[in-house]
Structure formats: structure tokens, C-alpha cells
Amino acid sequence: MFKIRPRRLRKNSSIISLTQENWVKAEDLIYPVFVKSGSENQEIKSMPNIYRFSLDNLLREIEDSMALGIKAIALFPVVEEEFKTLSAEESYNPNSLNQKTIRAIKKRFPELILISDIALDPYTSHGHDGLIRDGKILNDETVKVLAMMALAQAEAGADIVAPSDMMDGRIGAIRQALDENNFFDTKIMSYTAKYKSNLYAPFRDALGSLGSKKSYDENSDIPKDKSSYQMNYANSREALRELELDIAEGADIVMVKPAGWYGDIIQTFKQNSTIPIAAYQVSGEYAMIYSAYQAGYIDLEPAIIESLTAIKRAGADLILSYFSRHCLRITQKIK
């Protein structure tokens, strides 16, 4: 008689790695970065080691990241209060901080893939992703502004535009606007299943968007949260509906967000589509892992690699992660 012995393949590290199914590699990582005006960097309190960079310092950070193997960044602007309005005009200003930063980055690093965010939350005075009238988020009016925003970013040189707002029909409207203006090669990475998560709080703190403002008036008719556009985290079939729509409307890459608690959704996307799947390990995931490490409860490096590998195992082709640089330093054994 014999015994089946799976442990044979766990005998030593060589056989373990020879039979490893999923790896996180530089080619799969997208590094999200924040740019601010002025010449000083600011550390983001709820995201240790992550900065709002001045443009000069951001260019240095990108150069250093590319030396580590990073091939793509996702850009988020920290917009000054004076440019935030109810109609978010700054979002499509060709000379906004975001558009100027795109131009400067692409001039210096033409081979870098630059992903630019499409959503109104950095630009609205209330911090919502949509225009508001009578206490309601306006879908179609918002989509018009998003299409203008996509054009301004494509003109500035963005390789990929990434709508993160969850308005209905925005992928089709953006594709149409890009096509009509001959931006046939500008890709759309859609935040397809973006859940209304508690894990975005550090990001909102970084940008000064919804919920982060001291001046926020509890008595206004502005919706208190994003539940009328971001998805209910209790649902999975609804994500498939969003997936079908985004593919039909011309998305090139579809995304699940957050990533770590949403492995089932990533797997569903993988099984039900033929285009690349991205997953966003969001600010709260970063903060949870980092603060557990700072408290002395877990080891940072193995936890980073485990968290990213689990997202790959679920089926993500691309991962947006604030740990991208940490990950590459770990895998390349750079201290």
C-alpha cells in the first residue's frame, strides 16, 4: 500500500518555489502617487511612508521607482480648496495641477504608463464624485463633465484614463468623446466593481475629499456617503452586471476595488471576461497592514507579499498598490 504525500512538494524552498502557482512581479504592479502644488512634500498621517509630492519630488520618486522596475503609475492630484467648486470646472482645465503634472511626467518618462484618474471628488467643494442638485447626485450631467475631463487628460498625454466615479454610462460616453477627437489609442481602465468601502478613509484624508473636512455641515442636504453610486459590499451578482456593461461600452481593463476582501469578485471577473483584470489594494488595506506592523503585531515584509500574492491568486492580472515599491525592494532583496 502507498500513501499520497502532498508534503513531498513542500520539502524545501527550491521545490516549493518550483511548484508555486502565482507570483507578484514588477510588470503587474501599478504604483498610485499623489501630487500637490508647492515645493514641499507632506506625509499622509493615515498612510505612513506615503507622501503628497511636489512635482519636482514626484519626478524624482518616479525615476527611483522605475529603477526598481515599476512600469506604471496612477496619478491623483491634491487640489487646493480655492479650486474646488460645485461644478468642478477645474477637472477639465488644461492647466490644472493634474494636467500639468501629466505633461511633465510624460515629457521626462515617455515610456512610463501614466494612468490618470477620472472622477470629480478632488474638484467638488463637497467631495462627492458627482454634481449635486437638490441633494441628489446627478448622473448624466456628471458624465458630460467626466468626458470633458477624459479629453483634457488625453490631450495632456495620459496613456490610460481611469474612471473611478461609478456613474452609469460613463465608459461609453468617455470612449465616444475620445474617439471623436482621434484619441483612438487612449485606453480606459474602468473601476467596474467599486464597492462602498470603509477602506477609502485614508485616501480621502490624503485628498481632503468627502468626510475629511472640518467645515462639513451635518445639516446640509449633501448626501452623507456614496451609497447612491458605489456598490453595496453585500452583493456579487451586481458586479457581473457592471462587468457586462463596461465591456459593452468599450472598457479595455476592468477593475475590482478594494482587493483583499474582494477576492471572490476578482475570481468572478476572471471567469467571466477575456480582458485584463485589475485590483486596487486601497489606502485602508495599506493602513491596516502598516499599522499592525507598527504596533508589533505582524511582520511587515511577509505580510505585504502575502497580501499581494493572494490578490494574484484570486485572478488579478494587474495590482494597484501603495506597497508596490516595498514589494519590489523585498523581492529584489534591497534594504
255, β-bridge pairs: 191, 278
The answer for residues whose C-beta is within 8 angstroms of residue 67's C-beta and 6 or more apart is none
Q: Residue 153: in which H helix or E strand, if any?
A: helix 139-156
Chain residues that interact with ligand PBG, rule: CB under 6 A: 117, 119, 121, 129, 164-165, 200, 203-204, 209, 226, 282-283
Q: Which C-beta is closer to ligand PBG: that of 108 or that of 201?
A: 201
- Per the annotation, the verdict on 257 as an active-site residue is yes
Q: Strand 29-35 relative to strand 42-44: parallel, antiparallel, unpaired?
A: unpaired
Q: Which three cell numbers stand for residue 135?
A: 441633494
| Least distance to ligand PBG, CB of residue 180, Å | 25
The one catalytic residue in 194, 196, 214, 312 is 194
Contacts of 335 (CB under 8 A, 6+ apart): 329
User: Residue 91 or 99: which CB sits closer to ligand PBG?
Assistant: 91
Q: State in angstroms the smallest separation of the CB of 194 from ligand PBG.
A: 7
Could you say which DSSP state residue 195 is in?
B
Neighbours of 146 (CB within 10 A): 27
CA distance 41 to 263: 34
- Write out the E strands in 5-119: 29-35, 42-44, 47-53, 72-77, 113-118
Name the residue nearer to ligand PBG (CB basis): 74 or 277.
74
Which residue do the cell numbers 501630487 mark?
A: 35
Q: How far apart are the first and last CA of the chain?
A: 50
Calculate the CA 134 to chain-centre distance.
Answer: 30
Q: Name which of 129 and 246 has its Cβ closer to ligand PBG.
A: 129
- For the CA atoms of 259, 91, 62, 72, the dihedral, rounded to the nearest 10 degrees, stands at 50
Q: Is 107 a catalytic residue?
A: no
Cβ-based nearer residue to ligand PBG, 12 or 215: 215
Task: Spot the catalytic one: 84, 226, 257, 312.
Answer: 257
Burial class (CB in 10 A: 0-12, 13-18, 19+), 142: buried
**Closer residue to ligand PBG, CB minimum distance, 24 or 287:** 287
Asked if 119 contacts 143 with a C-beta cutoff of 8 angstroms, the reply is no
Q: How far is the CB of 203 from ligand PBG (least distance, A)?
A: 3
Least separation in angstroms between CB 46 and ligand PBG = 10
Q: Minimum distance from CB of 20 to ligand PBG (Å)? A: 28
Nearest distance from C-beta of residue 156 to ligand PBG, angstroms = 19
Tell me which residues are annotated as active site.
194, 257
